Amino acid sequence: MTIELKTELGHIDISNEVIAMIAGGAAVDCYGIVGMSSKKQLKDGIAEILRRENFTRGVVVRQEEDRVFIDMYIIVSYGTKISEVASNVQSKVKYTLNKTVGLSVDSVNIFVQGVRVTNP
């Protein structure tokens, strides 16, 4: 599935995988994020951290009419304020997609799949 952008120069089709990779890369750069997690893979209460090439499994891009919604599944660092981390991820993903692709995102929904202790 692709998202169509109409500009004065013509039409641009961007695949959902590209948007997911950009959003996942922006999210991982935020303070308090250990990594991305898969939407479907939660076994025995333990979420697996995805590598950079698999970010598309942890990000769902939905388009309804002219609106774009992004669902992100993340793992946060122990000791951080989850609401602040989620708010920072939302802001950074919206900003990055707007500046990189020119895509206006209506909402970024954050789903925390787990909390991990990171090495100092």
Q: What is the pLDDT along the chain (120 residues), one digit of tens a residue?
A: 778 878 788 888 888 889 999 998 899 889 988 888 877 665 545 556 666 667 677 889 988 888 889 999 988 999 899 999 999 999 999 999 999 988 889 999 999 888 888 665
Predicted local distance difference test score (pLDDT) of residue 44: 47
Predicted local distance difference test score (pLDDT) of residue 49: 67
Q: Which residues contact 17 (CB under 8 A, 6 or more apart)?
A: 56
Range of the domain at 68: 2-116
Task: State the burial class of residue 120 (Cβ atoms within 10 Å of its Cβ: 0-12, 13-18, 19+).
Answer: exposed
What's 104's DSSP letter? P
Q: Which residues contact 80 (CB under 8 A, 6 or more apart)?
A: 31, 32
Predicted local distance difference test score (pLDDT) of residue 86: 94
Q: Which of 108, 104, 101, 105 is nearest to 13 (CA)?
A: 101
The number of distinct structural domains making up the chain is: 1
d(CA 120, CA 117): 9
The first and second tokens of residue 91, run together, are: 């802001």
d(CA 20, CA 27): 10
Facing residues of 3 across strands? 14
CATH of the domain at 91: 3.30.70.1350
